[in-house]
Chain A
Amino acid sequence: MGTLHGLVFPINALPGCQLVKEGIDRISFDADVKSEAVIRYYERVDADLLFYFSDIVIQAEAMGAKIKFAPDAMPCVSETAQEIISPSPSRVGRMEVNARVLRRLAGVFPHKLRSTLVYGPFTVAGQVAGEQNVLRATIDNPDELEGLLEKTLECAIDYGRYLLDAGADVLWVSDPLSALLPPELFPRFAGDYLARLFAIYPGPTALHICGDTSAMIEGMIETGARGISFDQCMNLLAVEDRVPENIIIIGNLDPVEVVEMMNTEQVAAQTADLVSMMGIKPNFALSTGCALPPSTPMDNVMSFVEEGRSRLALLAPHAEDLAALAATVHKGDRDGAATLVKRVLNRRIPARSIIGSGLMRAVRKASARYEYRLCFLPEVLLIVDAFYQGYKCLETKIDAGREGTPQIVLGTVKGDFHEIGKDLVRIMLEANGMRVLDLGVNVDGARFTEAVRLFGVSVVGLSAFTTAARRQLSGIIDQFRQEGLSHVSILVGGAAVSEKVARDVGANGYGRDAVEAVKMIENILKRSRASNDDRKHPEAFSSVKS
């Protein structure tokens, strides 16, 4: 399977720049300063895979592109190459700096894995010849582009070999520009060259492509990379079945919205959630969805690594049992779910893990597959039913169950007696761990506002199946505003409602169906929790550098 499985690491080591006095321009050129930055960084951040503070333009620079350096920003291309150079890495100053840093890392952290960070031939071609020119050439002038790609591949191979010779254990390749290729062109202009690059090294390899790569996953796998690193925009539960078990799924905590922007508790919570979903996979490595920005608070990086490692360790002894439970629920096997829950309880697996990594994982996977249009609503509901069957066996084992103040109020509006759609939303919300007050059908505005006041609820779902009921929506929403409840998020749904209707009546959102409604409500509650936490921790963002 390769040695990446089970590792915990953030991509690259850019926040290390905060630990030395010198700016990024100096770090980029001076092996001593860069070594100091990354060694200090990894002394604090106990990552399993070490990087050497790499910038994305190093190969383009070596091939003739002009680079702009600044103390407070990462290097970037200022001018494409006038003439393409075929460099020898040992004679390129900044490549040699990185090789020296790798050797120092090997001396200080001899028991840890070290990684190269090589950029893909297509990305480097874009940097030396202009990204738009290269993308246009895939159609207008493919032969000439292939000639250029041969040169950028040669540079990538030489640089990769040079770093492996300097002590790197992992050949990590990032190829962000290839995400812009149409999937059918990916093999010809990116995939085939990446395959030749990975072929130079029999050890662990990984491929990272930024953005939504769902249309090119198979192409990425065909490159021969032993690990696929997914961007934070990808839902790993939706794509995991497309990655063979011998390939490591690497990902994918959001490096900006979470690790850079949130406080340490929130980073820990988000990390725990990701591990709860993915930690039972034998071919998973916990990482970030892309490189952490240089300004990421150091405490947050440490929180990610420490929380991630401890959560993975807690889950590891039970991973096989929980994976079997999740798979049974995913099949929609109600009786099987109940039997397996009883069995894992006998093995003293904590109830919270059974719910999070077994039962709820299956529901979230079904929702993710639905979102990616890989399945339809009945399949999701079948899985929800199996979830409930398993959950019933656990109800006496969990301390904080579903009893308690409701978080969401639901109802079908006055004049409408249809309840199925609304009931499905309730069931899905409850299966996702949320507490719901269901006011039933034919509910007028006063009952909605009264319930919201009584329980301090911040989310309301209004269902309208008929055109007559649709006409009630704006009145009910106005009532919320008039009664000083503007802070309440109101979502609408039902057969008589569309996105346009939702906008016209002044709703905060429209749920096309139960799965989408649940996702929107989850996001609202998550934002609401984050803003409450920030009020409790006003210093949360003070450590973030602009």
Chain B
Amino acid sequence: MIQKTSPFPDRLSKYLQLGSHEKARQEAQFLWEEALVLLKAANWRSLLTVDEFFDVFHPYAESSQSIRRLLRCAREVWLLAVTAGDGIERRSREYLKKGEAFRGYVLDRMGSFLAEEQIRQVDKIISEESTGKGYKTTRRYSPGYRDFPLEAQVVFVDLASCAIPELRLTSDFLLVPEKSITAIKGVLE
């Protein structure tokens, strides 16, 4: 997991497309330190049987062909939710409002990177645990992918509220804080 003191990851340079511009790299280092201070990471996961999953996600899951295909040979389904908190995105907006486009943009991308890093870590732990028990897993799949409707976010937010109380939805089912991700991951027979 990324800690408050984590050094600037090599992958982040590529993710941000900083190129070789010296000043851009210096500024990004400063923003990384700021992002880590503002990071309010939280995550949650829960394991359901396939029947429980379709029950809890009624009617969104059974109406989705892509979900049915993903879970065709699954015995269980992990639910995942992570957030980087709202501090980074709020600071990013402040920068943009002040007309500081680089800082606003780069900090926003760092927020996305941190949220993605978290869910990758959770995903990795689940995969390793499953492998230890002799099971394979599916890839991660999130609401909004293909025909898995965004409305399914309602269920995630509801279930994850104990671990991530600040997770909310807009009227159009977008996650707030924006730097949050939800997903499912099947455990195969």
**Which residues of A are at the interface with B, using a C-beta cutoff of 8 A?**
331-333, 375-379, 381-382, 384-385, 388, 415-420, 423-424, 427-428, 466-469
Q: Which of A376, A427, A469 contacts B99 (CB 8 A)?
A: A427
* Complex Cα–Cα for A466 and B103 (A): 23
Least CB distance from B13 to A in Å reads: 10
Residue of A nearest to B89 (CB): A420
- A423 CA / B96 CA spacing, docked (Å): 7
- Judging by beta carbons under 8 Å apart, are A379 and B101 in contact? no
Minimum distance in angstroms from B19 CB to a CB of chain A: 5
Closest chain A residue, CB of each to CB of B107: A420
Interface centre among A384, A419, A423 (most CB of B within 10 A): A423
Q: A378-B16, A382-B102, A467-B144 are in contact. List 17 more A-B contacts (CB 8 A).
A: A332-B102, A333-B23, A375-B19, A376-B18, A376-B19, A378-B17, A378-B19, A379-B19, A381-B101, A382-B21, A385-B101, A415-B171, A417-B174, A420-B92, A420-B108, A423-B101, A424-B105
| Chain A neighbourhood of B100, CB < 8 A | 385, 388
In angstroms, Cα B24 to Cα A377, docked, is: 11
**Is B16 a contact of A331 with CB atoms below 8 Å?**
no
Give the chain A neighbours of B108 by CB distance below 8 A.
420
CB nearest to B93 among chain A residues: A419
Flag whether B172 is at the interface (Cβ < 8 A). Answer: yes
Tell me, rounded to whole Å, the shortest Cβ–Cβ distance linking A516 to chain B: 15
Residue of B nearest to A418 (CB): B178
B187 on interface, CB distance cutoff 8 Å: no
Q: Establish whether residues A416 and B172, one from each chain, have CB atoms under 8 Å apart when the complex forms.
A: yes
* A384, B174: Cα distance in complex, Å: 31
A378 engages B104 (CB within 8 Å): no
In Å, the complex CA distance between A379 and B19 comes to: 8
Q: A331-B23, A378-B19 are in contact. Are A424 and B101 (CB under 8 A)?
A: yes
Q: In the assembly, what is the distance between CA of A427 and CA of B98, in Å?
A: 10
User: C-beta contact mask, B99-124 vs A, less than 8 Å → 1, else 0?
Assistant: 11111111010000000000000000
Instruction: Indicate if the CB atoms of A417 and B170 lie closer than 8 Å.
Output: yes
Asked if B150 is an interface residue, CB under 8 A from chain A, the answer is: yes
Contact partners of B28 in chain A: CB under 8 A: 378
Q: Contact: B174 with A382, CB < 8 Å? A: no
Chain A residues, Cβ within 8 Å of B150: 466-468
Which A-chain residue is minimally distant from B22 (CB atoms)?
A331
List the 4 closest pairs (A to B, CB-CB), nearest first.
A376-B17, A332-B23, A381-B102, A381-B101
| Residue in B closest to A379 when the chains form the complex, CB atoms | B21
B residues neighboring A (CB under 8 Å): 16-19, 21-24, 27-28, 92-93, 96, 99-106, 108, 144, 150, 170-174, 178
Question: Smallest Cβ distance from B23 to chain A, in angstroms?
Answer: 4
Complexed CA–CA distance, A469 and B173 (Å): 12
Report yes or no: A377 in contact with B172, Cβ–Cβ below 8 A: no
Main secondary structure of the interface of B (DSSP, over half): helix
Chain B min CB distance to A117 (Å): 41
CB-contact partner of A420 in B27, B96, B174, under 8 A = B96
- For B102, B103, B108, the residue with the greatest tally of chain A CB atoms inside 10 Å of its CB is B102
Question: Chain B: which residue is nearest A427 at the CB level?
Answer: B101
Contacts of A420 in B (CB 8 A): 92-93, 96, 104-105, 108
Would you give 17 A-B contacts (Cβ < 8 Å), ordered by A?
A377-B17, A378-B24, A378-B105, A379-B21, A379-B24, A382-B21, A382-B27, A382-B102, A388-B100, A419-B93, A420-B104, A424-B105, A427-B101, A466-B144, A466-B172, A466-B174, A468-B173
Determine the distance from Cα of A419 to Cα of B170 in the docked complex, in whole angstroms. Answer: 14
Contact at B24–A332, with CB atoms within 8 Å?
Answer: yes
C-alpha gap A332/B19 in the complex (Å): 14
The complex places the Cα of A469 from the Cα of B102 at a distance, in Å, of: 26
| Complexed CA–CA distance, A379 and B16 (Å) | 10
Contact A375 B21 (CB under 8 A): yes
Q: Is the CB of B172 within 8 A of A468?
A: yes
| B146 closest partner in A (C-beta) | A467
B54 to chain A, nearest CB (A): 23
Q: Is the CB of B144 within 8 A of A381?
A: no
Q: Which residues of B contact A467 (CB under 8 A)?
A: 144, 150
A411 to B21, CA, bound (A): 31
The CA of A467 and the CA of B174, in the complex, are separated in Å by 11
In the assembled complex, the CB of B98 is this many whole angstroms from the nearest CB of chain A, namely 9
How far does the alpha carbon of A423 sit from the alpha carbon of B171 in the complex, in Å? Answer: 22
Whether B174 pairs with A378 at a CB distance below 8 angstroms is no
* Residue among B96, B101, B104, B150 with max Cβ neighbours from chain A (10 Å): B101
Contact B23 A384 (CB under 8 A): no
Pick the contact of A332: B21, B96, B173 (CB < 8 A).
Answer: B21
How many Å from the CB of A526 to the closest CB on chain B?
Answer: 24
- Residue in chain A with minimal CB distance to B18: A378
Contacts of B174 in A (CB 8 A): 416-417, 466
Q: Is the CB of B102 within 8 A of A385?
A: yes
* Chain B proximity of A440: nearest CB distance (Å): 12
- Report how far A320 CA is from B93 CA in the complex, Å: 37
Contacts A378-B16, A385-B99 given: A423-B21 contact, CB under 8 Å? Answer: no
Q: With CB as the reference atom, state the residue of chain A lying closest to B109.
A: A378
Q: How far is the CA of A332 from the CA of B27 in the complex (A)?
A: 10
Q: A384 with B144: in contact, given A376-B17, A420-B96 (CB under 8 Å)? A: no
- Contact B96–A427 (Cβ < 8 Å): yes
Complexed CA–CA distance, A423 and B106 (Å): 13
Closest to A392 in B: B99
**What residues on A are CB-neighbors of B171 within 8 Å?**
415
* Distance of A377 Cα from B108 Cα, bound (Å): 13
Q: Give the docked Cα–Cα distance between A375 and B22 (Å).
A: 12
CA distance A206 to B20 in the complex (A): 33
**Across-interface contacts of B105 in A (CB, < 8 A):** 377-378, 381, 420, 424
CB of B23 within 8 A of CB of A382, answer yes
How long is the Cα–Cα vector from A418 to B104 in the complex, in angstroms?
Answer: 13
Partner of B172, one of A385, A415, A419: A415
A131 to B3, CA, bound (A): 64
**Distance A11 CA – B150 CA, assembled complex (angstroms):** 61
Residues of A contacting B170 in the complex (Cβ-Cβ under 8 angstroms): 417
| Assembly CA distance A208 to B54 (angstroms) | 69
In the complex, A45 Cα to B150 Cα: how many Å?
67
What is the bound-complex CA distance between A101 and B93, given in angstroms? 67
Instruction: Using A385-B99, A385-B100, A468-B150 as known contacts, say yes or no to A378 and B106 having CB atoms under 8 A apart.
Output: yes
